[in-house]
């Protein structure tokens, strides 16, 4: 009778995990390691599958993109949707939306970095805890001045500011009737309700 292998109770203690760096990650993508429809991002040296996008997520992101694209006509800013930002040698997340410093060459030479990023935004449903905690700390450690998490379930906007190595030191939760001005662009006002789909009145 063959003996079944015994799983380690704590693989993180039993194994020395070898992280993947950004250059290796790019080589894997160029070599076709990932399926064309497979959505992954590099987070602290590990490949993380991105959550499937529900209808509420899709509609909310579409509205936010439309909102900031319209505002970008008044501002010196570039709007990027679900594309990479290099934070360090081991992290390259793809925030749902980011406001970037304008690059005359449209970042053709390299992906934008944290230093190019005015504001990162994640739209969250099932990923809310991960976006607030794991990604929030990552963006803060990279010194991105402002980070928003749009909670499509509670229809609230979580605004994170004052980055530090321990995470953002300020979190403000705004409801739909509130408004906000991004740190970098105090001259504009954004109404939180504009980010969410209109709720159909019940009969």
Q: Could you report the per-residue pLDDT of 131-151, keeping only the tens digit for each?
A: 999 999 999 999 999 999 999
32 belongs to a structural domain: no
Percentage above 90 pLDDT, the chain:
80
Distance in angstroms (rounded) separating the CA atoms of residues 151 and 122: 9
- 9 versus 177: the higher-pLDDT residue is 177
Is the confidence at residue 203, as pLDDT, over 80?
no
| Domain with 118 in it | 52-195
Residue 125 is encoded by which pair of tokens? 């449903």
Rounded to 10 degrees, the C-alpha dihedral 77/79/80/86 comes to 20
Task: Provide Rg for the chain, Cα atoms.
Answer: 19
Does the predicted TM-score (pTM) go above 0.85? yes
CATH number, domain with residue 85? 3.90.1570.10
- 14 versus 131: the higher-pLDDT residue is 131
148 belongs to a structural domain: yes
pLDDT tens per residue across span 74-87? 899 999 999 999 99
Q: Please, what is the end-to-end C-alpha distance for the chain in angstroms?
A: 65
**For the chain, what is the domain count?**
1
27 belongs to a structural domain: no
Is the confidence at residue 10, as pLDDT, over 80?
no
Contact by Cβ (8 Å): 64, 192: no
Per the listing, tokens 């380690």 go with 8
Is the confidence at residue 9, as pLDDT, over 60?
no
46 belongs to a structural domain: no
């Amino acid at each position: 009778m063959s003996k079944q292998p015994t799983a380690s109770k704590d693989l993180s203690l039993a194994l020395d995990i070898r992280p993947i760096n950004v250059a290796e990650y790019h080589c894997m993508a160029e070599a076709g390691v990932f399926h064309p429809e497979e959505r992954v991002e590099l987070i602290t040296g590990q490949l993380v599958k991105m959550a499937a996008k529900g209808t509420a997520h899709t509609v909310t992101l579409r509205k936010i993109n439309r909102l900031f694209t319209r505002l970008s006509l008044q501002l010196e800013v570039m709007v990027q949707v679900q594309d990479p930002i290099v934070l360090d040698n081991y992290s390259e997340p793809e925030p749902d939306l980011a406001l970037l410093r304008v690059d005359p060459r449209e970042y053709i030479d390299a992906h934008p970095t944290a230093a190019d990023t005015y504001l990162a935004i994640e739209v969250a449903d099932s990923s809310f805890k991960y976006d607030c905690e794991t990604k929030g700390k990552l963006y803060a450690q990279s010194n991105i001045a402002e980070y928003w998490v749009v909670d499509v379930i509670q229809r609230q906007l979580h605004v994170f500011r004052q980055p530090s190595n321990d995470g953002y030191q300020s979190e403000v939760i705004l409801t739909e009737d509130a408004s906000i001005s991004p740190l970098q662009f105090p001259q504009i006002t954004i109404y939180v309700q504009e980010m969410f789909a209109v709720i159909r009145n019940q009969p």
